[in-house]
Amino acid sequence: MFNKEKFAQIIKNIKEMYNSQEEFSKKSDIGRTYLSQYMNMKLEEPPKPRILEKLANASNGTVTFKELMNICGYSEKTLESKVLSIYELLKKYHKYINNGKSDKTNNYEIEGFIEYFQEYLDLLNKSIDLDSNVPVILEDIFNFSTAIEDYMYIGGFILLYNQFILSLESEDLIVVNDYNFIDCFNIEDIYNNLNKLQNLELLSYCSKNISIKNKNKMGDFIEYIDSFSRCLSLAHLSEYSSNSLIDFFKKKARNTSYEANDIQSKTDTANSLSPYNQSIYMCPVYGRIAAGQPNWAEECMEGKMPIDPELMNIINPEECYFLKVNGESMNKVIKNGAYALIRKTDWVENGEIAVVLVNGFDATLKKFTKQGDLVILEPMSDDPNYTTQVYNKDTEIKIIGKYIGKMEMN
């Protein structure tokens, strides 16, 4: 559970190490508004782990990442890392049961283990959907008239089932009342239990040996089942192929994530197929913004576009908006007609790209540099017609956002 009070006090303690909140914000690379919201306990959900890592790095050793994770109620491993570990265990079992042989000639057997287990997960989902009082038993998955021939697949299934139950128990989703775990790496244990497994009761809506803890919140339980199944498929696929979804799964398994500038056209795919089914935020799209000579920015919402805050490394999506680029002055970074993703802020580092109001009503997207009393707005274009703009203190300059990513349509 997220301990808001303790977390707020830790942030305040870290802030005291710096001369100002602005310095703390710069050091941690976390927005000042976002930090203030947690210090004042305005947010109900804890920050993402990557934000906690930034805080730990900015704390000068006074608090560790692991301590922050515990305070915020996170388990130490992501589901992806858990399932990847389970898959590695499954490969070891496969090698064990085949007397040390596990290669391309028999790897189809690992896929078979997974298919049998996912068949069970389908039965579990159906049991929940129907509020069924009919138990699910192992004979619903396997034909025990051929149990001797299928013993390897039964053992692989039991290994996955055991790990699935342990994972559910660690998430406090079930209560294990009376279930004996079989050691699948002990051939004697498999042999002695093979004939007894036919009527083994598996977890279901009405199971007695293992019970679902909170049947009033079955949505979370079903989501976990589906995510577990999907991660298991991705772990297996990652052995043989690579694409943006598999790469994202592997990054999650290593507790890392994409940078915001990686979003581009990958976003739709990742939003629909993310292993966690993460919540999508509908980000407002505002009027066209000139990326040539400054032009008045129309503050009128034209619609909304979906973003995945976790995939795009966005801390607080409500501070973000899209602006459509009109012009070629930034075409080395973002194409004409693309959507620039902007985070609301009134401050950027020299060399960063910002949305800037000039004289209160003109807006432009440019590389920002401040040298003394001078503000330099620099285009990043292949077109030499676009030139650097330099303003002195007589010109009112106001930063209204920082460029953090883009959405480009091919």
Active-site positions? 329, 366
Which residues make beta-bridge pairs with 339? 324, 407
Task: Give the residue from 302, 303, 294, 355 showing the smallest Cα distance to 327.
Answer: 294
Distance, in Å, from the CA atom of 359 to the CA atom of 396, rounded to the nearest integer, reads: 5
* CB 343 within 8 Å of CB 391: no
Distance, in Å, from the CA atom of 341 to the CA atom of 381, rounded to the nearest integer, reads: 19
Task: Give the residue from 263, 310, 305 showing the smallest Cα distance to 284.
Answer: 305
Distance, in Å, from the CA atom of 161 to the CA atom of 174, rounded to the nearest integer, reads: 14
DSSP letters for 350-395: TT-EEEEEETTTEEEEEEEEEETTEEEEE---S-TT---EEE-TTS
- Beta strand pairing status for 353-358 and 362-371? antiparallel
DSSP letters for 283-298: EEEEEEEESSS-EE--
Reading the block at residue 63, the tokens are 């608090």
Distance, in Å, from the CA atom of 407 to the CA atom of 70, rounded to the nearest integer, reads: 35
- Beta strand pairing status for 281-290 and 201-202? unpaired
Q: What angle do CA 38, 313, 277 make, to 5 degrees?
A: 95
